[in-house]
Amino acid sequence: METKQATFAAGCFWGVEAAFAKIPGVLSTTVGYTGGQPANPTYRQVCTGRTDHAEAVLVTYDRAVVSFAELLDAFWSCHDPTTVDRQGPDIGSQYRSAIFFHDVEQERIARASLKEVEDSGVFRRKIVTQIVAAAPFYPAEDYHQQYFVKQGLSQSCHVGVVTVQTRLARTAELSRPAAAASTAVAPSAACGTSHWKQLSDAQLRKRLTPEQYAVARQAGTERAFSGRYWNEHRNGVYRCAICGQPLFSSEAKFDSGTGWPSYWKAIDPAAVAERSDDSHGMKRVEAVCSRCESHLGHVFDDGPDSTGKRYCINSAVLDLAVEG
């Protein structure tokens, strides 16, 4: 066995890891952060977009079974390499498209692969993928590793707009001994536009508690001071309990005195969608998860001076990933 390592960034590392983990010859995958400062960043720091780290996947593979060129085919196929600092609903430099080469051979193959894909015209827009030397790689928190496996979510990539199969990879495959040939696979291009695969109503009822279902799918509201996070003070990232999308940071949480978790901003403007809500004879603004469209709560204009907003959210539809 001749093991090698490769590092790729192609959007949220959950889906990127899932794409590479299923390739024969890939021995292990680790999600983490690379390409920025400081050392050993936390997820919360990277989410600010100010550290210049990319969410990346470190792939350890057996070169006798799968080549770097074939891994590149999987890389091109599991995301849209033409969008700058964005994959699907995820926006920020941490979601950039990048190949971090570990040696001169990987750099040569990466540049040749990019040129072949660019010349083929398979992508309608210009490829913006960075090809840069591998920097220190910092493994992400444990709850991010093999996230889809742990959560039982659909293993799909962000925006697999095409399936790329280069001549470069085909040549590498044919050069292997017959026993090891034709084993690499590229992710399907028909995987959709998000990690989250919409579940049926029956599936949601089975997966969620009655309270979670009532809040998320029927726009219910938990009783004040009854939720698990209204008086929560630990540091971390609050995710949608339905689809896992990051919604709020503990840095934006404040005590509103209402008995519900309150935040003065979302972790990303694109994470929480706002809709007009005229139910119950009132005019309000509903807050929903932009990925799975679950009801979260409401947005009011009586928050702190920094934004003036108060996101009044139900604990039932939140999961806190604690840091530190």
pLDDT tens-digit series, residues 143-159: 899 887 776 655 554 44
Instruction: Say which residue, 182 or 324, is predicted with more confidence.
Output: 324
Instruction: Say which residue, 181 or 232, is predicted with more confidence.
Output: 232
- Looking at residue 59, its pLDDT comes to 97
> For residue range 53-102, what is the model confidence (pLDDT) as tens digits?
999 999 999 999 999 999 999 999 888 899 899 887 788 999 999 999 99
The answer to pTM > 0.95 is no
Are 133 and 29 members of one domain?
yes
Q: Is 78 a catalytic residue?
A: no
DSSP 8-state class, residue 305: T
| Amino acid code (one letter) for 204 | L
Confirm whether 57 is domain-assigned.
yes
Query: Is residue 57 a contact partner of residue 31, using CB atoms and an 8 Å limit?
Result: yes
**Residues in a beta bridge with 31:** 57
Are 132 and 269 members of one domain?
no
DSSP one-letter string for 107-155: HHHHHHHHHHHHHHT-SSS----EEEE---EEEPPGGGTTHHHHHT---
Catalytic residue (choose from 47, 157, 240, 312) = 312
Q: State the number of CA atoms in the 13 A half-sphere of 177 facing the CB.
A: 5
Are 251 and 311 members of one domain?
yes
Are 209 and 173 members of one domain?
no
At residue 91, φ and ψ (nearest 5 deg) are -125, 135
pLDDT at 139 over 60: yes
Of 48-57, 148-157, 237-246, 250-259, the one with minimum mean pLDDT is 148-157
Are 41 and 99 members of one domain?
yes
| Amino acid code (one letter) for 180 | A
DSSP 8-state class, residue 48: T
pLDDT at 108 over 80: yes
- Looking at residue 153, its pLDDT comes to 59
- Looking at residue 264, its pLDDT comes to 95
Which structural domain range is residue 109 located in? 3-180
Of 39-43, 156-160, 207-211, 220-224, the one with minimum mean pLDDT is 156-160
Mean per-residue pLDDT over the chain, rounded: 87
- In Å, what is the CA distance from 231 to each residue of 107, 216, 228, 237, 245? 51, 21, 7, 15, 22
User: CB within 8 A of 97, min separation 6: which ones?
Assistant: 9, 10, 11, 79, 80, 81, 83, 87, 127, 128, 129, 130
Per-residue pLDDT averaged across 116-143, rounded? 93
Number of domains the chain is built from: 2
> For residue range 269-281, what is the model confidence (pLDDT) as tens digits?
888 999 999 888 8
Confirm whether 190 is domain-assigned.
no
Domain end, chosen from 180, 212, 245, is at 180
pLDDT at 1 over 60: yes
Catalytic residue (choose from 12, 78, 157, 289) = 12
Are 31 and 122 members of one domain?
yes
Confirm whether 186 is domain-assigned.
no
User: For the CA atoms of 26, 141, 267, 16, what is the dihedral angle to 10 degrees?
Assistant: 0
Of 15-24, 142-151, 219-228, the one with minimum mean pLDDT is 142-151
**Residues in a beta bridge with 213:** none
Q: Is 12 a catalytic residue?
A: yes
Distance CA 215, CA 294 (A): 8
pLDDT at 187 over 80: no
- In Å, what is the CA distance from 23 to each residue of 20, 26, 71, 81, 223? 6, 6, 8, 20, 47
> For residue range 286-319, what is the model confidence (pLDDT) as tens digits?
999 988 889 999 999 999 988 999 999 999 999 8
